[in-house]
């Protein structure tokens, strides 16, 4: 979509998919009308759809120079003939509002539906549903899964133009039934029913107890916690379980019959028309294991099973939580990276890295004492201080760099002492050098990622400051 403006003639030309429309605005004496026209231009509101509401934008559009006018305040559009269309309104922070209007013959609006424009993303993994992540035997296959942004009510539609006659070339004979095995029983397959559900579901409030809230980029986010025994929590879990298969490698569904599951839900809180609306951002599932203790008999240990932030909202700081110590069940590489970064940031804030003992070689007793204060597991604490040391280390200082390498190699040797017994001295030194090089490359990758994230946060902060100055 391209918009060009000629300041002399005050003409606006809109080019959409090789179709163009010229609107010649005559001079008017009314300044209020001119301000409305300018407001229309600033908001960049374009007609994107005509006559066929079933096709998702963007699509080919030809307006045939039909006259239209906007009446601000009444949210009404006047057109010369009976149509059904949708309007895309591009707003700040890429918030897109989808409005549907159905006109009757007398020019009045029969139906108004205002919802947030769908955010589209694709699954990362599908091998747990479709073997080899491929579907063969169909022409122009389109699998569409839609979720209501608040309670994640699911809509499923499978479309294709043709199908091969010989079934041996079809990898999945019934795609819809295959997907339904991983979707809740309440899945909707009728688009009319689904959009009717969206229109009626305007007073949703997340279930559970609100345990935290924070602001990011002038948006409010809230965290809700609840047990799986809560029927409303169970409903959302059934709807969102397929996200774990799509976004976590090797993930599986949790057992909703087990009452020890705790569910944490993250929502963005939006206010429109004096009413609060909630948009689902991500979730975490936590299992409560029994904690064996001589002093207490009702303690439990929380273990994260799944931690998902939907792709459109990732790398926005939603994983920054000040947890003391928690066990992660079979963490993925991405989750381990996030854990490394947050633990290092927390240790920096605590001032541990500013103590005089924090230089290679670090005394082992100091490490044990600092680890107890930080409440981070010993292996993870070693990893954090080694990354922090490498970040501060001047590699040109040969003595300090050698002591750093020797300290890491000693730790590796002690940890794998039993495995090194089968090698001679030269082979052990070679294995240690190879292992160290691999660890150093991984540490440098984490350091580079942290610097990039810090620059991104600084850029976001600068933009916010500039916006405050301008406003």
User: Do the strands 300-309 and 327-328 form a parallel or antiparallel pair, or are they unpaired?
Assistant: parallel
Q: Give CA separation, 7 vs 13, 15, 21, 150, 270, in Å.
A: 12, 17, 17, 44, 37
Q: How far apart are CA 18 and CA 58, in angstroms?
A: 13
The whole-number pLDDT of residue 99 equals 32
Phi, psi of 103 (to 5 degrees): -95, 140
Query: Between 116 and 126, whose confidence is greater?
Result: 126
Angle between helices 425-470 and 398-415 (to 10 degrees): 110
Q: How far apart are CA 388 and CA 348, in angstroms?
A: 9
% pLDDT > 70, the chain: 64
- For residues 228-247, one letter each, b for 16 or more C-beta atoms within 10 angstroms of the residue's C-beta and e for the rest, the string is beeeebbbbbbbbbbbbbbb
Lowest mean pLDDT among 2-11, 112-121, 279-288, 307-316: 2-11
With contact defined as beta carbons under 8 Å apart, do 362 and 354 qualify?
no
Query: pLDDT digit string (tens) for 436-467?
Result: 999 999 999 988 888 776 655 554 444 444 33
Tell me the pLDDT band of 252, cut-offs 50, 70 and 90. Answer: confident
Token couple for 393: 């280390």
Please name which of 451, 257, 253, 259 lies closest in space to residue 344, comparing C-alpha atoms.
Answer: 451
% pLDDT > 90, the chain: 1
Token couple for 375: 């409440």
For 166: left if phi > 0, alpha if psi spans -120 to 50, otherwise beta; the answer is beta
Q: How far apart are CA 283 and CA 240, in angstroms?
A: 9
| Residue range 182-198: mean pLDDT, rounded | 88
Query: pLDDT digit string (tens) for 270-290?
Result: 887 777 888 888 888 888 765
Which among 108, 325, 329, 355 is annotated as catalytic? 329
Query: pLDDT digit string (tens) for 379-417?
Result: 888 889 899 989 888 878 888 888 899 988 888 888 887
- Give the torsion through C-alpha atoms of 462, 465, 469, 471, to 10 deg: 110
Query: pLDDT digit string (tens) for 46-97?
Result: 333 334 444 333 333 333 222 333 333 333 333 322 222 222 222 222 233 2
Phi, psi of 221 (to 5 degrees): -120, 140
CATH classification (class only), 131-200: alpha beta
The whole-number pLDDT of residue 29 equals 43
| Residue range 307-316: mean pLDDT, rounded | 78
CA 163 to chain centre: 35
- Enumerate the β-bridge partners of residue 304: 286, 328
Residue ranges covered by each domain of the chain: 2-116, 131-200, 331-471
The whole-number pLDDT of residue 224 equals 92
Q: How far apart are CA 426 and CA 415, in angstroms?
A: 19
Query: Between 471 and 165, whose confidence is greater?
Result: 165
| Residue range 94-107: mean pLDDT, rounded | 32
Q: How far apart are CA 405 and CA 433, in angstroms?
A: 9
For 132: left if phi > 0, alpha if psi spans -120 to 50, otherwise beta; the answer is left
pTM flag (> 0.75)? no
Mean residue pLDDT across the chain = 69
Query: Between 196 and 53, whose confidence is greater?
Result: 196
329 is catalytic: yes
Query: pLDDT digit string (tens) for 415-428?
Result: 887 777 778 888 88
Query: Between 458 and 313, whose confidence is greater?
Result: 313
């Amino acid at each position: 979509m391209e918009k060009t403006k000629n300041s002399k003639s005050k003409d606006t030309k809109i080019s959409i998919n090789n179709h163009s429309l010229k609107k010649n605005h005559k001079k008017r004496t009314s300044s209020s009308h001119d301000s409305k026209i300018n407001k229309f231009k600033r908001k960049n509101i374009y007609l994107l759809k005509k006559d066929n509401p079933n096709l998702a934008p963007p699509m080919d559009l030809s307006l045939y120079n039909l006259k239209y006018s906007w009446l601000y305040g009444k949210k009404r559009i006047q057109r010369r003939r009976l149509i059904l269309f949708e309007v895309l309104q591009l707003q700040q922070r890429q918030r897109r509002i989808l409005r549907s209007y159905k006109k009757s013959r007398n020019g009045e609006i029969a139906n108004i539906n205002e919802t947030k424009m769908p955010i589209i993303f694709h699954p990362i993994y599908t091998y747990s549903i479709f073997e080899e992540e491929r579907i063969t035997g169909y022409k122009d296959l389109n699998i569409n899964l839609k979720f209501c942004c608040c309670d994640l009510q699911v809509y499923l539609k499978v479309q294709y133009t043709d199908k091969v006659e010989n079934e041996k070339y079809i990898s999945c004979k019934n795609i819809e039934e295959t997907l339904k095995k991983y979707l809740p029983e309440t899945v909707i397959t009728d688009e009319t029913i689904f959009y009717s559900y969206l229109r009626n579901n305007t007073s949703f409030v997340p279930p559970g107890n609100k345990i935290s809230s924070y602001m990011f980029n002038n948006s409010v986010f809230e965290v809700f916690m609840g047990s799986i025994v809560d029927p409303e929590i169970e409903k959302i879990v059934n709807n969102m379980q397929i996200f774990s298969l799509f976004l976590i490698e090797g993930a599986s569904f949790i057992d909703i019959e087990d009452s020890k599951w705790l569910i944490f839900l993250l929502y963005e809180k939006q206010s429109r028309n004096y009413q609060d609306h909630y948009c689902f951002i991500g979730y975490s599932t936590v299992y409560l294991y029994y904690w064996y203790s001589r002093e207490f008999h009702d303690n439990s240990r929380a273990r994260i099973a799944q931690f998902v932030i939907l792709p459109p909202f990732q790398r926005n700081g939603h994983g920054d939580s000040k947890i003391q110590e928690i066990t992660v069940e079979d963490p993925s590489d991405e989750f381990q990276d996030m854990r490394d970064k947050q633990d290092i940031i927390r240790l920096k804030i605590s001032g541990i890295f500013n103590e005089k003992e924090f230089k290679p070689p670090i005394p082992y007793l100091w490490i044990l004492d600092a680890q107890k204060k930080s409440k981070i597991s010993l292996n993870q604490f070693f990893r954090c201080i080694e990354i922090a040391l490498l970040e501060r280390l001047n590699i040109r200082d040969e003595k300090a760099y050698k002591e750093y390498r020797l300290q890491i190699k000693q730790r590796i040797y002690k940890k794998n002492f039993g495995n090194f017994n089968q090698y001679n001295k030269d082979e052990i030194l070679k294995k240690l050098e190879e292992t160290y090089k691999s660890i150093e490359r991984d540490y440098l990758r984490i350091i580079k990622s942290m610097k990039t994230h810090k620059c991104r946060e600084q850029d976001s902060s600068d933009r916010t400051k500039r916006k405050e100055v301008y406003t």
